[in-house]
Chain A
Amino acid sequence: MATCPATLEELPRYPEGKEILTCLQCGMCSGTCPYGDVMDYPPRRMIAMMRAGMLEKVFTSDSLLSCVACYACMAKCPRGIRLTEILLPLMKEQTLTHLPELPSELQKALQNTLRYGNPMGEPSRKRAAWVKTSGVPIRIFAEDRRPADVLWFVECYTSYYPRGQDNCRATAKVFDRLGIDFAILGNEEKCAGECGRLTWEPGLFETLMDYNMAVFQKYQFNRIVTSCPHAHNAFKNRYPALGFNWGLEHTTPFLGKHLAQLKPLLTRKLNCTVTYHDSCCLGRQNEFYEAPRQLLQAIPGVKLVEMVHNRLNAICCGGGGGGMWLDTYFKAKGYERLSERRVKEAAATGADVLAVSCPYEVSRFEDALKVLGYDKRIIVRDVTELLAEAMEE
């Protein structure tokens, strides 16, 4: 991928910048943006202001705070303008320096990520604590430096949150049954920084990118498989600028490639109706629509139903672009939480299980289910958790 413009001033000199100037002002972006109707400057107007030389007004509004980096605008743009990838992060960076005060939860998440390598502010020495609870052995590179085929990049929510750790244990079990040769970075791992990049803080992202690349170069492996679609994006789109040249997969499509090997291992009938939520990063951005569905359908006793908005049209859970730490801010402004909007769709399908493949989605949807009172009807499970459940102990 070509080098990206680092600032708004540079933007016009790049092909992407010239592309932005060809905007038709058709409004597809604003129309499809989940919060477009509450932004002062949804994407279309933002570009109009840019062309009119009036960007100051955009930076001092809080429109960018409502962007959850869901890629919907970029996916629908008839000109293929790289909104979510190029323009919006640059806009957010400027907003951060112009806003008199950043919402405190977001500020804390960014500060924590810089200092502790995770937005929760948990100690780095506890990042691999979940390993002790795994049913299968987990190799940590720092302790065993032999080469491995796969570096499994676990990421923050999966490492520290109890529900994320459920996902880790499931992933480890499935990897083990498939005979995958993998190792993790353990406590040396720090956030890939993608939410820093998409959310305001290129400086934070660069710091994390420098750190992670240095750690990667200590060990030998062929590819990185990660449980987090956001990390996947960072490695795919930005890290190559610093020399990242390993193979890269997210766990779901990675397991999808092993479907033939997996299928005979899925022996327990789960007997449930499942609806799959396409995460923005895996779905719209990378078009990994079918692999998760094939995996789910390979599980005995699973009936797959679709929500009204699926695949390209899926509704974001609201966690990207910093949205994970802006819920209270949104609520104070009276916005409907996107996760609630999505969960209503899931309930309408009559499904018992809402299947996801991004760690943010688990807590967001479980929260939304509780608030709406659906938590007795529907449970949230990562695709990998369902696969593990369908395997014998």
Chain B
Amino acid sequence: MHILVLLKMVPDVVEDLEIAPDGKALDLEYLRMILSESDDHALEQALLMKERHGGKVTVLALDAPEVDDALFTAAAKGADRVVKVVGMDAGLTTRQAARVFAQVIQSETGLMPADLVLTGVQAIDDLDGLIAPLVAHELGLPYLGIVTRVTFDAPGQLVQAIKEYSGGVRGEFEVKLPAVLGMQAAERPPRYVPVAKVRTAMKSQKIECTPAPIADGGWLAIEVVEMKRNEPAGHAEMLEGDADQASGRLCGILAERGIF
């Protein structure tokens, strides 16, 4: 069995995000990048399935600051092959990133055939699309998103996948392979790998680099008019009065917001 995992680095929101002087993008100076959270779950799911069924896991990522950390960590966790696409323009949108992924998957030896292509369901910077359905479309593969459980059904070349709906409802789906799944959460939280193991991986394993295909535009873009910080409320609006008065006001606010 071969599972291909697509990883994307996104801005780390723990650090304060600043806007660039042109007012249309993030200021890159203090920006740190981190592996998109649901991509980490996609990797964990792939590793769990490898442990169960054998086979191999290949990880493919686009070059970005701190991506090497993520790739070596993936290798230390058990990925068999880690590949990085280099030479692209900086600041690709999700749509452009998906196109690069799809082209590289088809052109780079050994990435296909894969039984499953796993990636996160959604990333915090997915302004113009989602990786999973875009890649699925480009590769002509079926797609299912918000998946929390995947079971490989060997004889029928199928997977059983659980998709999450609101209110605790889940849907049990059957997907014919090969397929692309957008993972919401792996069956268990992403495993911890000791720093020492990652440091060992840095010395013993190699990240393969593959050149990016020539950018071909040809789709309609979206234009960013303005980007700014979403200012949070600094302090609560205090509701005055005794218990009855204050709670009466609060009740009114909740009703207005459609809470009940």
The answer to A–B direct touch (Cβ < 8 A) is: yes
B192 in contact with A110 (CB, 8 Å): yes
Q: With contacts A101-B188, A104-B189, A125-B30 known, is A203 near B16, CB below 8 A?
A: no
Contact of B233 with A by CB under 8 A:
no
Interface centre among B15, B189, B192 (most CB of A within 10 A): B192
CA distance in complex: A229, B30 (Å): 31
CA distance in complex: A107, B188 (Å): 14
Contact of A111 with B by CB under 8 A:
yes
B194 in contact with A97 (CB, 8 Å): yes
Q: Write the chain A residue with the least CB distance to B199.
A: A203
B15 in contact with A96 (CB, 8 Å): no
Contact of B196 with A by CB under 8 A:
yes
A107 in contact with B16 (CB, 8 Å): no
Contact of B228 with A by CB under 8 A:
no
Q: With contacts A101-B188, A104-B189, A125-B30 known, is A114 near B195, CB below 8 A?
A: yes
Contact of B198 with A by CB under 8 A:
yes
Scoring A residues 120 to 162 as 1 if CB is less than 8 Å from chain B, else 0, what string do you get? 0111111000000000000000000000000000000000000
Chain A residues whose C-beta falls within 8 Å of the C-beta of B34 in the assembled complex = 115
A203 in contact with B192 (CB, 8 Å): no
Partner of B196, one of A104, A111, A202: A202
B194 in contact with A201 (CB, 8 Å): yes
Chain A residues whose C-beta falls within 8 Å of the C-beta of B189 in the assembled complex = 104
- How far, in Å, is B18 (CB) from chain A's closest CB? 10
Partner of A116, one of B14, B191, B192, B196: B14
Contact of A204 with B by CB under 8 A:
yes
Chain A residues whose C-beta falls within 8 Å of the C-beta of B30 in the assembled complex = 125
CA distance in complex: A204, B196 (Å): 7
**A-contacting residues, B7-33, CB 8 Å:** 14-16, 30
**A-contacting residues, B176-204, CB 8 Å:** 188-189, 191-192, 194-199
Q: With contacts A203-B197, A203-B198 known, is A107 near B192, CB below 8 A?
A: yes
Interface size on A, residues (CB 8 A): 25
Chain A residues whose C-beta falls within 8 Å of the C-beta of B198 in the assembled complex = 203
Chain A residues whose C-beta falls within 8 Å of the C-beta of B194 in the assembled complex = 93, 96-97, 200-201, 203-204
- How far, in Å, is A355 (CB) from chain B's closest CB? 33
Partner of B192, one of A111, A115, A122, A125: A111
CA distance in complex: A376, B14 (Å): 36
Chain B residues whose C-beta falls within 8 Å of the C-beta of A203 in the assembled complex = 194-199
CA distance in complex: A203, B203 (Å): 14
- How far, in Å, is A359 (CB) from chain B's closest CB? 21
Chain A residues whose C-beta falls within 8 Å of the C-beta of B197 in the assembled complex = 203
Contact of A21 with B by CB under 8 A:
no
Q: Write the chain A residue with the least CB distance to B198.
A: A203
Chain B residues whose C-beta falls within 8 Å of the C-beta of A121 in the assembled complex = 14
Q: With contacts A123-B14, A123-B15 known, is A207 near B195, CB below 8 A?
A: yes
Interface centre among A97, A200, A202, A203 (most CB of B within 10 A): A203
Contact of A26 with B by CB under 8 A:
no
Q: Write the chain A residue with the least CB distance to B15.
A: A123
Chain B residues whose C-beta falls within 8 Å of the C-beta of A97 in the assembled complex = 194
Contact of A38 with B by CB under 8 A:
no
A123 in contact with B195 (CB, 8 Å): no
**B-contacting residues, A81-116, CB 8 Å:** 93, 96-97, 101-102, 104, 107, 110-111, 114-116
Chain A residues whose C-beta falls within 8 Å of the C-beta of B199 in the assembled complex = 203, 206-207
Chain B residues whose C-beta falls within 8 Å of the C-beta of A125 in the assembled complex = 15-16, 30
Q: Write the chain B residue with the least CB distance to A101.
A: B188
Chain B residues whose C-beta falls within 8 Å of the C-beta of A202 in the assembled complex = 196
B15 in contact with A201 (CB, 8 Å): no
B192 in contact with A102 (CB, 8 Å): yes
CA distance in complex: A124, B32 (Å): 11
CA distance in complex: A96, B34 (Å): 24
B192 in contact with A124 (CB, 8 Å): no
Chain A residues whose C-beta falls within 8 Å of the C-beta of B195 in the assembled complex = 114, 201, 203-204, 206-207
CA distance in complex: A123, B31 (Å): 11
CA distance in complex: A115, B70 (Å): 12
B196 in contact with A123 (CB, 8 Å): no
Given contacts A107-B192, A111-B192, 5 further A-B contacts (CB under 8 A): A93-B194, A114-B195, A201-B195, A202-B196, A203-B196
Residues of A near any B CB (own CB < 8 A)? 93, 96-97, 101-102, 104, 107, 110-111, 114-116, 121-126, 200-204, 206-207
Q: Which 4 A-B pairs have the closest CB atoms?
A: A203-B196, A203-B195, A123-B15, A204-B195
Could you show 30 A-B contacts with beta carbons less than 8 Å apart?
Answer: A93-B194, A96-B194, A97-B194, A102-B192, A104-B189, A107-B192, A110-B192, A114-B195, A121-B14, A122-B14, A123-B15, A123-B16, A124-B15, A125-B15, A125-B16, A126-B16, A200-B194, A201-B194, A201-B196, A202-B196, A203-B194, A203-B196, A203-B197, A203-B198, A204-B194, A204-B195, A206-B195, A206-B196, A206-B199, A207-B195
